[in-house]
Chain A
Amino acid sequence: MLRRALTGTLVLFIIAGTGSVGYTIDNDTEGTDKNSTKIEIKNQESSMEVVFPEDDFITSQETVLLSGRAEKGTTIMVEVYSVKELEETEIETHTLEVEELGIFNKSINLKKGTNKIVIKAKKEDTVVHSVTKKVIVADEEKAKEYLNKSEDINILNKLKKQISGDNSESKDIDEENNESKIIKEDNILNENIKEDNTESGEIKESDKLTE
């Protein structure tokens, strides 16, 4: 009886610790479009679309392309933060003007570890749309570790589903877009894009890897 209780507690502990972790892999994923999850709070209809990076993008480079579409005349404000142990340090900010082409592209500098990119679309001094993306900069070997760990997480998620059945948290999760969607759900449920509320599990993971 005691052994069962202990095993049960252990399984629950693992599930609780990994339930909100999501991964996308840079070099060895099979395509770019399958993990097109975005943490987006749409205040107005499609005033801005961020094409890249996808959320939870992992790269070994300390620069990443920020690419998107917006209406001519929109001002795009970009804030880049390095996130370490729940503290955010601003790395850089950019202001981009969307001109005739209706696109914006900017090479963004990042720091090792977790980075948060906040992209705001502004029209007539009013922020009309805001999107937050998380990008993790890991060296190559660590990116490979992520890949291996993400496979483990897949197994754990399957286990979690088997144990808890079709629980409320995973009801709306598209099975094809597994872990990343969990983050999206969490964020939407909480109506909060702050990383310290929703992504602590992942920050811990990345901190472990960058140690």
Chain B
Amino acid sequence: MTNDRLKTAVLVTLFALSVLLAQRLLVDIPFNIMPSFGQLNDTPKQEYDYFLSDIISPERFLVTYGINNHRILYGNNTHNLWTDSKVVLKKIFNKENSDIELIEKKEYIQYKNKRSIVLQFKEQIPSQVISKMLGIYTPSSIHNQIGYVEDIYIRLGSKGLFIFTDGEKYLKVENPEISIESIAKTIKDIENNSEEEYVTYYPGRTMFGAQEDVYAPAPNSMVNTLPDVYAKSGVIGKKDKEMESMIENFFDKDIDYIRKVVENNGSVIYMYDPQGLVISPNGVLEYFNEIEEPVLERDLYESLTTAVDFIKENNRWPTGAYLTDIEKIESKGNKGYRFNITYRVNNKPVVLNKNSMENLKGLKAPIEIEVYNEYVKNYKEYLRDEDIGIYRSSIYKTQKAKVPEDVIRENIDLIKYIYAKETGVTEKEVEILEILSSIKKISLAYYDPCERTKGQIMPGVWIIKIGETEYIFDIQTGDVVNKENLM
């Protein structure tokens, strides 16, 4: 009798188990008793992190071969440097037996003369976000010592030596168990490559007497690798079908359910309460939605992943997109973040004409998204597609590009005038060497004047910050195409 009961119990258990397992294959049972294989494998999360690590990527890589011998490589994953670096960083965040100490800026600058690579981010990134992006969720001793990271230095010597800095604190982490062989090999290959894009950069400290840590090529040493590109709006001029598909994506509804209003100024508004989408005639796209529940505590990682997910779901990712700015925001008591994201053309970042901000609904970067943890409240974009493959000059590759020294010299009267105003002295009192010593930033980019929806020339530019003013110089003509006082 007891045996029969036992057999019945076993049979019932087996039957129940078979039903539960069968639902994975055949039946869609509405409640989840057991996690699916998909969830166990965590596939969606891995994909998520892949995109997150794309947008939290260095703007450029400073490679040092020795004293006064550097190269600057642009692109989010040029030569797989970011991929290789992530592998190494994951190890350093995971190891608890590393020697960690805070060092002085002077010591860091000395390290920068040694064979090394520095991953330079556009914005200070919380160190916890970097480690979460790498799949490490437990805080390490590195997080305790440095909250934000702007540069990550990797020494290409025999032992693993890293320096994390936010620009003020310099945290040296040493662990000889960590191999950087793969990165060292790539750097060696680049050294042996004499292609035109591998221009030698020298410290501004030597060239100009600059006080900040800036780098520039010597005159006549740089072949122009930044041809002008012709751009058109990423929205205006799209075929009807493409537009419909894009709008349906945003609302996750068939186009027939979405109300459309055309305004007198040419703006087109799409509505499906409470969501809305506005396409301006100049090509700015704006999406807005409401926050369903109050968000009283902001979570950067959650907000960032929500932003990435939103842009991904709506197929709005431009090539080489990366995060350029993080700002805390509040709306009706809700706490969130505003993220600015830019993209790259020919591996160089694209900057917008800041004088056009008003026309571009306040956009500082090609993508701006406001997120309150899991809710996207506002999304704006001003994206471009390449128009046609024509260049302002077909001989650009044989031309020498102007270097920072050239463009500063050609515009020295203007620079002197502005510097005198900034420092409250007369132009006669301003020493040129003093101006040169106040160079704070030198970088390459593409400049979008934001004037046309098609056939817009985007020139390659030098962005140079002197004193408190940021100048944008055309790399071919040397003209100032834009300037902004950052005080």
Interface residues of A (CB under 8 A from B): 26-32, 51-53, 57, 59-61, 63-65, 67, 69, 99-103, 105-107
- Of B69, B208, B220, B405, the contact of A61 (CB 8 Å cutoff): B69
A65-B206, A65-B207, A106-B219 known; A29-B412 Cβ under 8 A = no
Q: Does B298 contact A (CB under 8 A)?
A: no
Q: Does B218 contact A (CB under 8 A)?
A: yes
Binds A, one of B110-118, B130-138, B386-394: B110-118
Binds A, one of B30-38, B60-68, B458-466: B60-68
Q: Chain B residues near A64 (CB, 8 Å)?
A: 68
Interface of B is mostly: mixed
For the complex formed, measure the closest distance between the CB of A143 and the CB atoms of chain B, giving whole angstroms: 8
Is there contact, CB below 8 Å, between A31 and B218? Answer: no
Is there contact, CB below 8 Å, between A99 and B68? Answer: no
Q: Chain B residues near A65 (CB, 8 Å)?
A: 68, 200, 202, 206-207, 218
Q: Chain B residues near A31 (CB, 8 Å)?
A: 110, 113
Q: Does B436 contact A (CB under 8 A)?
A: yes
Q: Does B8 contact A (CB under 8 A)?
A: no
Q: Does B486 contact A (CB under 8 A)?
A: no
For the complex formed, measure the closest distance between the CB of A145 and the CB atoms of chain B, giving whole angstroms: 16
Cα distance A75–B87 when bound, in Å?
52
Interface residues of B (CB under 8 A from A): 65-69, 110, 113-115, 200, 202, 206-209, 217-221, 405, 408-409, 412, 432-433, 436
Cα distance A139–B356 when bound, in Å?
52
For the complex formed, measure the closest distance between the CB of B86 and the CB atoms of chain A, giving whole angstroms: 27
> Which are the 7 A-B pairs with shortest beta-carbon distances?
A107-B218, A27-B66, A26-B66, A107-B221, A65-B202, A105-B218, A52-B206
Is there contact, CB below 8 Å, between B208 and A103? Answer: yes
Is there contact, CB below 8 Å, between B114 and A102? Answer: no
Which A residue sits closest to B218, measured CB to CB?
Answer: A107
Q: Chain A residues near B412 (CB, 8 Å)?
A: 100-101
Cα distance A67–B207 when bound, in Å?
6
Is there contact, CB below 8 Å, between B67 and A29? Answer: yes
- Of B113, B217, B220, the contact of A29 (CB 8 Å cutoff): B113
Which A residue sits closest to B216, measured CB to CB?
Answer: A105
Is there contact, CB below 8 Å, between B436 and A103? Answer: yes
Q: Chain A residues near B436 (CB, 8 Å)?
A: 101, 103
Is there contact, CB below 8 Å, between A102 and B433? Answer: yes
Q: Chain B residues near A26 (CB, 8 Å)?
A: 66-67, 69
Q: Chain A residues near B67 (CB, 8 Å)?
A: 26-27, 29, 32, 57, 59
For the complex formed, measure the closest distance between the CB of B451 and the CB atoms of chain A, giving whole angstroms: 32
- Of B110, B115, B433, the contact of A27 (CB 8 Å cutoff): B115
Which B residue sits closest to A143, measured CB to CB?
Answer: B66
Which A residue sits closest to B115, measured CB to CB?
Answer: A27
- Of A28, A63, A101, A107, the contact of B114 (CB 8 Å cutoff): A28
Cα distance A99–B219 when bound, in Å?
13
Is there contact, CB below 8 Å, between B68 and A30? Answer: no
A28-B114, A67-B202 known; A106-B65 Cβ under 8 A = no
Cα distance A29–B217 when bound, in Å?
23
For the complex formed, measure the closest distance between the CB of A61 and the CB atoms of chain B, giving whole angstroms: 6
A65-B68, A65-B218 known; A30-B110 Cβ under 8 A = yes
For the complex formed, measure the closest distance between the CB of A209 and the CB atoms of chain B, giving whole angstroms: 17
18 A-B contacts, Cβ less than 8 Å apart?
A27-B65, A32-B68, A32-B206, A52-B206, A61-B66, A61-B69, A65-B206, A67-B206, A69-B433, A100-B409, A100-B432, A101-B409, A101-B436, A103-B207, A103-B433, A105-B219, A106-B220, A107-B200
